[in-house]
Amino acid sequence: MRILLPVEDSPFSQETIRSLISQFQTRGTEVRVLHIIEPFTAYLTPDMVPEIVIDSAKIEIERNKQSKALVASVAEKLRGAGFTATESVAMGEAKHVILDEAENWPADLIVMGSHGFKGLSRFLLGSTSEAVARHAKCSVLVVRVPTKSPK
């Protein structure tokens, strides 16, 4: 089985990793750990914020370095649990990159987290997991962070 695991540095991804390790057999399972670097959607110029000088090249180098460290860490954790794991970092809009990677690799399953946005937040921020679930050509497992029930 080939599982695509999109990750980010968040509790949602940590829960997704934990869930994958606990629910899937390691033998014969290859996991591709994918992190997407999304381009900046707001562009700042020195005229807009003159007291801040942005060196976009340095920012991109740092983002790439952090992304590679994240996927390496997750892949190592998966290897420690017995999975075969590969690493991938890509640039673009998350839902498109995930769908393309799943089709081109090709994945049998996508396991990803959900932020659980509702209402206006969901409308404004979009739902990557929903878009992937609707358009993927393979199965998709969306993992949610458990909510604590009131006692």
Q: For residue range 111-134, list pLDDT tens digits in order.
A: 998 865 554 444 444 588 889 999
Give the pLDDT band of residue 99 (cuts 50, 70, 90): very high
Task: Tell me the mean pLDDT in the region 138-149.
Answer: 82
CA-wise closest residue to 130 among 94, 100, 103: 94
What's the topology of domain 2-144?
Rossmann fold (3.40.50)
Cβ–Cβ under 8 Å, residues 122 and 86: no
Asked if the model's pLDDT at residue 66 lies above 70, the reply is yes
Domain residue ranges in the chain: 2-144
Q: Report how far residue 127's alpha carbon sits from residue 132's, in angstroms, rounded to the nearest whole number.
A: 9
- State pLDDT tens for residues 4-48: 999 999 888 999 999 999 999 999 999 999 999 987 654 555 565
Report if pTM > 0.85: no
Distance between CA atoms of 53 and 115, rounded to whole angstroms? 32
